Amino acid sequence: MLSTTVINCFKNLKILCIGDIMLDKFLYGDVERISPEAPVPIFKIVKEKSMLGGTGNVIANLASLDVKTMFIGAAGNDDSCVMLEYFLKQTGCEYSLLKSDKYPTTTKIRMIANNNHLIRADKETELKLEHSQIEQFRNFVEQALPKCHIVLVSDYKKGLLTDETTQMVISLCKQYGKKVLVDPKERDFAKYSGADIVKPNLKEFELVSGEKFDTKDPDFKEKIAAAAYKVMEKYEIENLLITLSKDGMLFVPSDKTQEVLHIPAEAKEVYDVSGAGDTSLAVLGASIAAGVYISDAMKLANLASGIVVGKLGTACVSPSELRNAIISENAKGKLSQSLKIVSVDEAVEIAKELKSQNKVIGFTNGCFDVLHLGHIHSFAGAKKECDCLFVGINSDNSVKKIKGEQFPLQDEKTRAYVAASLEFVDYVVLFDEDTALELVKKLNPDVIAKEGFKIENWPEAQYVISQGGRAVELERIEDYSTTAVLNKIDNLKGNGVLNV
């Protein structure tokens, strides 16, 4: 089960991030005149802000989502490193730093006036690892791997992730049975050979494949996939996930029997793309570590990226922002079935959020053992009465109490998944009680709708009315019921038509 469930699962994860960390500084101010000393604008600083950059932004995004993190990287023995360590501690990250007097902590300073970037100044040199540092790096990795769920490698080409150290990480990950996701910078993907997923952007993929692609071409997906298969075969990479900026992302598995997945972008208005790739890597890694299918992990990563590019500067996504984005996507009918199946607590949380947006919450319930036209008609009728329809489904234990040990014919996961596949249904919630009354009290829907029940004999309806809501007695379609379906099956068996 996913939806906002996956966000709640994030707090149980520990993710190891390895890569190039840097300090991001933002100077905000105004430009009102030209300097008398030279024909250049005078930038008047109003405020300053510093934060984790590079792999540090991946860590910050994971921490923002309540994921526990570990980090292995390098920095200089300087004031910028002191600030980095302060920010890392603020996130709760367990970190191991290779420090060097010969290497300044990479620092990027951006000057911004009226939401426009004027200039970026970088302080950096390439790190030259010594043999003793490589051994120390290996020890750091070996100590961290047993404690993590997944490894994210963020390469900014600053010198830490050489061919030797990168292959060392991938080899150790295989040894310890950990998946490794790589955000690359090199043109030669031999460095990332053996990785489970390599996540280049389109420009990076064009460089490594030696081809150019136009996402406006009607067959761009097939062209990119064909090139991706060659790259994966050449460099022995398991899967490629190519980010396409405003055109979303494309997942190409090395197994050609599996589907190539294209997920469109979700950004509504772009203010700043700084760090969007880090956010995408963080959410993708956390989702996969939480057991999410790659298609849904991509959707969540896309939603998160769409949120941060709508903010100015390097930004993170919060659980509430991601949760609300999922709710909004569901309102558009874009969520997969698994994302629509939620726990009772999550349903309550979603209902509260939707009500704050002045959405009308609807509810109906049943066992829905053998879905038929009567059920479809009921769902469609209930949906007409509300903006968002929650469907309560009796758990297997609940059905057995009501109908006997021979029921249900289909387990609760199957029944929930089938119901969630319907366009009329926004969310599915399983409940264990004999009736849906307790669930209704928790959800407190604006309207409850069901066929076959009179309000005076319908406790759930009476409760909703007592809270100022409405109860709707839906019209029943005759001759459609689970019992009728079973009787027909028995008749066919009796006549020798079915042999089951």
278 has catalytic annotation: yes
CA distance 203 to 351: 42
Which residue type sits at 279?
Answer: T
170, 189 contact by CB (below 8 A): no
- Residue 119: beta bridge partners? 111
**For residue 277, what are the contacts with CB-CB under 8 A and spacing of at least 6?**
183, 199, 201, 243, 305
C-alpha angle 454-457-462 in degrees, rounded to nearest 5: 90
Whether a cis peptide bond, with omega within 30° of 0, leads into 408 is: yes
Task: Using alpha carbons, list the distances in angstroms from residue 52 to 20, 105, 315, 463.
Answer: 11, 12, 10, 51
* Nearest to 208, CA basis, from 235, 244, 180, 182: 235
398, 426 contact by CB (below 8 A): no
Burial string for 46-75 (b: 16+ CB within 10 Å, else e) reads eeeebbbbbbbbbbbbbbbbbbbbbbbbbb
For the beta sheet containing 180-183, the strands, ordered from the edge strand earlier in sequence to the opposite edge, are: 94-100, 68-76, 14-19, 150-154, 180-183, 197-198, 239-243, 249-253, 261-263
The one catalytic residue in 20, 196, 272, 278 is 278
Longest dimension (CA), the chain: 101
In terms of DSSP bridges, do strands 249-253 and 341-342 run parallel, antiparallel, or are they unpaired?
Answer: unpaired
Q: Which residues are catalytic?
A: 278
